[in-house]
Amino acid sequence: MLDEEARAKLWSRLFEIIEDYMRHVHEARVSPVLDLEKIRALLAPFDFKSALEPLEAVERIVAGLWQYQVHTPHPRYFGLFNPAPTTASIAADTLVAAFNPQMAAWSHNPFAAEAERHLVRVFGERFGYAIEETDGTFCSGGAEANHTALLTALVHHFPAFSVEGARAIPAPPVFYVSSQSHHSFIKAARLCGLGTSAVREVELDENSAMSAERLASAIKADREQGRLPFMVIGTAGTTSAGVIDPLRAIAEVAIDEKLWFHVDAAWGGAAVLVEELRPFLEGIERADSITFDAHKWLSVPMGAGLYLTRHTKILEQTFSTAAGYMPRESREFGVHDPYDHSMQWSRRFIGLKVFLSLAVAGWEGYEAAIRHQTAMGALMREELEKSGWKVVNRTPLPVACFIDEKSNEGADPRYLEAIAREVVREGKTWISTTDMGHGRAVLRACVTNYRTEAEDVSALIEALNDARQHIARR
Ligand SMILES: Cc1ncc(COP(=O)(O)O)c(C=O)c1O
């Protein structure tokens, strides 16, 4: 434990470091020069044999972070769904680290547990659930929320699953995703003991979305072959192309077939907060469960996943277990213990960063931020087209997938990879390549930062055009 004087020095320096990062990250290279030897050389002197001065240790670590990190909070990071955290959410996570609430038992942290419950209900309501019928839990992220969805769907369909496991299922169980669904469902199938052959990929339509007609045919064919369909997964904002599956049509198939309907809205779910985007997610209110990651478009530090459901007993049926060392006051109050709703036992107060950020910004603040990023996405698409990049994905969300119309090799995966690498090597902006299904390789750029402005979009276009020229000269 440091003494008061040392703590005061540490806190004040930490404050400077964080403030400096927030003020100056836009001046840094977005991506690091990857040099494994140099990184290991920075770490090697930490042999932990002698105690370092706290400030010295901190300065050395901060130097490493500045130098060797893709700066996802940089306004020119056009990458995966990684946010620039809001100030309030950084403050909240700092408080959580200091107070260190243990979220296993309600009675240990009734304030924290009730704050999370409050959030579960208000987010459920924003997605169209009746507030009194909403239940849920905070998770480490979308992957855990998706895993939770698969488990709850299994328990719902095969009530003996909790006791017998996969042996409770009388025929091979199958559930439906598209090839553009998040890969976490593959892992979840393994973790639930189903194996990956239980994951059925429904063919995409021409817009890389799940086709509801093909879903219906796949279910029929599986039933005819003696398999047991139990769940359908729609995505609201695919990882590659930000495509929103036709949720209403998928919901209808799922309801007709009596299957659990899960919507993975890890990133795109934030669109329900904005009036003009909300209609694109119509049908989500019919989902049995929803994955939503606050650490994506709500701009809080990782990880803050949310699993929501309108089946108020299902989490308890899935996770509840007796533990003799557990405090039990929750029963007296008719509330549940968080550990009964989740795989996690010792758990961080994940919800506070969402709570404080929302309390400080209000829904209005978030609406404005989401609207701004959507406008920057539209501008990005426009500017790309003006420079001869052809945008090939269709989504109202701020992610563009594109190929190069000005080059004969403009759709060749190796050419596109070379462009992305050159952009990243230059370090002024960050983009990636991906595949939109049907073997279609594309470049991908996504506005993920509420501080991204028109000049940052221009810098991206310039970097792409420079990369194109650089490669043409080779
Ligand atoms: C659609 C979708 N679902 C789930 C996930 C997994 O979320 P996490 O990284 O929080 O585990 C992602 C991550 O990008 C995603 O894009």
pLDDT values of the chain reduced to their tens digit, one per residue, 474 residues: 899 999 999 999 999 999 999 999 999 999 999 999 999 999 999 999 999 999 999 999 999 999 999 999 999 999 999 999 999 999 999 999 999 999 999 999 999 999 999 999 999 999 999 999 999 999 999 999 999 999 999 999 999 999 999 998 999 999 999 999 999 999 999 999 999 999 999 999 999 999 999 999 999 999 999 999 999 999 999 999 999 999 999 999 999 999 999 999 999 999 999 999 999 999 999 999 999 999 999 999 999 999 999 999 999 999 998 877 877 888 888 899 999 999 999 999 999 999 999 999 999 999 999 999 999 999 999 999 999 999 999 999 999 999 999 999 999 999 999 999 999 999 999 999 999 988 899 999 999 999 999 999 999 999 999 999 999 887
User: By the 8 A CB rule, do 168 and 157 touch?
Assistant: no
Determine the distance separating the centroid of ligand 1 and the alpha carbon of 142, expressed in angstroms: 5
Q: What is the pLDDT of residue 464?
A: 98
Determine the distance separating the centroid of ligand 1 and the alpha carbon of 69, expressed in angstroms: 20
Determine the distance separating the centroid of ligand 1 and the alpha carbon of 141, expressed in angstroms: 7
- What lies within 8 Å, CB to CB, of 100 at 6+ separation is none
From 139, 264, 292, 434, the mutation candidate for ligand 1 (largest count of ligand atoms within 8 A of CB) is: 264
Tokens 């038992």 belong to which residue?
105
From 138, 191, 239, 295, the mutation candidate for ligand 1 (largest count of ligand atoms within 8 A of CB) is: 239
Is residue 83 in contact with ligand 1, taking CB distance under 6 Å? no
Determine the distance separating the centroid of ligand 1 and the alpha carbon of 471, expressed in angstroms: 33
Protein residue with its CA nearest to atom 6 in ligand 1 = 142
Determine the distance separating the centroid of ligand 1 and the alpha carbon of 267, expressed in angstroms: 7
| Cα first-last separation, the chain | 58
Q: What b/e readout covers 305-317, taking b as 16+ CB neighbours within 10 angstroms?
A: bbbbbbbeebbee
Confirm or reject CATH 3.40.50.720 for domain 95-357, answering yes or no.
no
Give the start-to-end residue ranges of the domains of the chain.
95-357
Burial level of 219, CB count in 10 A (0-12/13-18/19+)? buried
Q: What b/e readout covers 292-301, taking b as 16+ CB neighbours within 10 angstroms?
A: bbbbbbbbbb
Q: What is the pLDDT of residue 325?
A: 81
Q: What is the pLDDT of residue 296?
A: 97
Is residue 235 in contact with ligand 1, taking CB distance under 6 Å? yes
Is residue 245 in contact with ligand 1, taking CB distance under 6 Å? no
The four Cα atoms 33, 35, 39, 41 give a dihedral, to 10 degrees, of -140
The encoded tokens of residue 452 equal 């991204």
Is residue 184 in contact with ligand 1, taking CB distance under 6 Å? yes
